Structure 1
Amino acid sequence: MSCTLSTRTLVVMPTRDRLLALLVAVTWGLNFPAIHLTLQQFPPFLAVALRFAVIAVPTLLLAPRPRVPVRWLLLYGTGFGVLQFVFLYAAMDAGMPTGLASLVLQSSAPFTVVLAAALLRERVTPRQAVGVLVAVVGLTGIALHRAGLEGGATLVPVLLTLCGGLGWALGNLGNRLATRAAPRESFRLMLWMSVVPPVPMLALSLTLEGPDRITASFDGLTTPTGLAALGGLAFTVLVATVGGSGVWTALMSRHPAGVVAPFSMLVPVVGIGSSWLLLHEATAPAELAWGALVVAGVLLGSTARRRPAGPEPARQPWGTTSAVAIAATPSPRPVSPSPSVVVAETVTGAPTAIDRTA
């Protein structure tokens, strides 16, 4: 497959997509208090298994598998579903404050940008780099302030949460690669991603948490604690996973990972605020100031200046490629030396060859 490629291209994220990314950030920020409620009743690894099993069972029965290479689906499910949540839930169960967990997990954004640049050859523009740097400064300021208020987080929960952020970043890459192969199947891809975690997470729960603890966690589900745990589980499944992850997957299919990922830096702003309102965790005006810096960095990194170098093509429909090419000197797109390797074009991030075999 060949097509022309302009020497000067510009990636522009439409306002609608930025608003959708913001909505996902709010949803995922509220997800942390919901996880906290779930962990009051269920052990962490069982909670992850339940979270995805609720989606996996109807998916296996009703949804055809998306036509993407199995390895990308496994990478997506393992990174996003297993590694992210096994470390996050373990960290929160070990005492990681809910608001601080929502902050540290956003290490996934710089992890994603770096991994996408290194492995997918997605270009990081100076504007995006500055935006990510500004947001990271804001996140660091919130982290230092939170650590001081909480008396300092222990090293192990922080390291566990950072590992969860790295797992999320790996899942983002699997998502990106899979949606390139089937950009119109992003929702089914998200559903089938949920098929990956339940079995390994249940095995991990049986091994480390034990049958007795698992059985005891189903007692008292009609108590206020049990009902709150079920409500938190329902929120993580229906709103955060099906709704939020479905929209996130669609956005990743339309835009380079380095453009979408910085929006996840807004999650700790919502997570800290909601934890203060719902769980009475301490907050302070200084955190709001650092949070405003995070917002500024995300907006800077997710927008770009238009250059009048030529006519702009018509807007692409939902589920198609996201790059806006500005006409200049056309040149043929290079072809990957092997069809089993997806090579991202260094400017637009579009694949040059896609292996569609499973």
Structure 2
Amino acid sequence: MKASHRLLAVLVAAIWGVNFVAIELGLRDLPPLVLTALRFVAAAVPLVFLVPRPSARLRYVVTYGLVLGVLKFGALFTALAAGMSAGLASLVLQAQALMSVLLAAAVLGERPARAQVAGVLVGSAGIGVLAVGSGGHATVIGFLLTLFAAASWAVANLVMRASGEQRPLSLLVWSSLVPPLPLLGLAGVIDGGEAVLDAITGLSWRGLLAVAYVAYVSTLVGFGIWNRLIARYSIARVAPFSLLVPVFGLSAAWLLLDEPVGPTELVAGAIVLAGLALVVRRSTPDRDDATTAGEGGEPEHARPVAA
């Protein structure tokens, strides 16, 4: 992976780390599924009128929207509202890195190098240290929903990779049309239609800023870059960078929410960085890059998953 692309992956991790602070603030004004629905409405409109349609087949666009929007983010936002602390959620969610590597190997035949497997395991150990020592709290349902969100994110990475999409931003924007109606329907069943309407019409400036960040910065910028990297490189090269999200998340919570950061967090952060160093270290040329072919280095498209 090029050095510039590694920096982009780190930037995405930073964006997503701060995202947990934005979500926590947004949930003070909005029910979780309503906040999730507004996120994707804002991500889709007006860009859906400005960007071309995705090159991938419709089933990939719809599936990506359902898995990422309804399953992953619907579960994550609900978990945070159900008692999962933002810091601990950012930790548990990164189980997707290992899940993504395993799914890509099983379904797409992307075989990770030993250094990548070792890096993911070391980084996951650092995440475990953070989870045990960070002092975060969670309900059982909150923890299970976050773990489900991690699995859904891994599947979304797989769908993105399998789609062969040539315009990742187009896929992201057009697939954002899929989640709002199912999410608002679920919110109406869970919270009641009147509560949903009141939450939307009574949106505060804090809620608007939270929606703006999670829609434009986290979704369009963050996932826009992430999907481009997933389309170009193997999942095993990209997914482990998400292990940095809790490091940035805890730092953002410390800076913006006054949450303390102690020695345990510092040690665990060093372990995560060591794991990431194993993933990105230079090995046999192009050995780990499943998508670079020929002298021009143009990406090959992953073969689609059998329907």
Question: Where in structure 2 are the equivalents of 1:1-358 lying within 5 Å?
Answer: 13-146=1-134, 149-150=135-136, 152-178=137-163, 180=164, 182-183=165-166, 185-218=167-200, 220-221=202-203, 226-306=204-284, 314=295, 316=297, 320-321=298-299, 351=302
Gaps of 5+ in 1: 1-12, 323-349
Gaps of 5+ in 2: 288-292
How many residues end up aligned between the 2 structures?
A: 301
Of 26-35 and 204-213, the range deviating more from structure 2: 204-213
- Alpha-carbon distance, 1:315 to partner: 5.2
Residue 52 of structure 1 aligns with an amino acid whose one-letter code is F
Residue 35 of structure 2 aligns with an amino acid whose one-letter code is A
Distance in 2 between residues matched to 1:190 and 1:295, nearest whole Å: 29
Distance in 1 between residues matched to 2:43 and 2:186, nearest whole Å: 19
User: Which residue pairs with 2:290 in the alignment?
Assistant: none
Structure with higher Rg: it is 1
SS at match of 2:94: helix
Distance in 2 between residues matched to 1:207 and 1:189, nearest whole Å: 29
- Alpha-carbon distance, 1:238 to partner: 1.1
Distance in 2 between residues matched to 1:205 and 1:92, nearest whole Å: 15
- Alpha-carbon distance, 1:62 to partner: 3.2
Distance in 1 between residues matched to 2:146 and 2:140, nearest whole Å: 10
Specify whether residues 164 and 308 from structure 1 end up closer, same or farther in structure 2 by C-alpha distance, changes over 3 A only: closer
Specify whether residues 292 and 57 from structure 1 end up closer, same or farther in structure 2 by C-alpha distance, changes over 3 A only: same
Quick check: 1:135–1:296 contact (8 Å CA) kept in 2?
yes
CA RMSD of aligned residues (A): 2.2
Residue 99 of structure 2 aligns with an amino acid whose one-letter code is F
Q: Deviations over 1:6-37 (max 9, x none)?
A: xxxxxxx1101100000000001100000111
Residue 249 of structure 1 aligns with an amino acid whose one-letter code is N
TM-score between the two structures when normalised by the length of structure 2? 0.92
Q: Deviations over 1:74-117 (max 9, x none)?
A: 22222222211111100100111111111111111111111111
Identical amino acids, percent of aligned pairs: 40
Residue 180 of structure 2 aligns with an amino acid whose one-letter code is P
Distance in 2 between residues matched to 1:67 and 1:306, nearest whole Å: 33
TM-score between the two structures when normalised by the length of structure 1? 0.79
Specify whether residues 277 and 314 from structure 1 end up closer, same or farther in structure 2 by C-alpha distance, changes over 3 A only: same
Q: Deviations over 1:238-264 (max 9, x none)?
A: 111111110111101110011100001
Quick check: 1:79–1:169 contact (8 Å CA) kept in 2?
no
Residue 263 of structure 1 aligns with an amino acid whose one-letter code is F
Distance in 1 between residues matched to 2:48 and 2:146, nearest whole Å: 30
Q: More helix by proportion, 1 or 2?
A: 2
- Alpha-carbon distance, 1:275 to partner: 1.3
Quick check: 1:75–1:170 contact (8 Å CA) kept in 2?
no
Specify whether residues 251 and 307 from structure 1 end up closer, same or farther in structure 2 by C-alpha distance, changes over 3 A only: closer
Of 158-167 and 297-306, the range deviating more from structure 2: 297-306
- Alpha-carbon distance, 1:313 to partner: 5.8
- Alpha-carbon distance, 1:237 to partner: 1.0
SS at match of 1:217: helix
Quick check: 2:42–2:216 contact (8 Å CA) kept in 1?
no
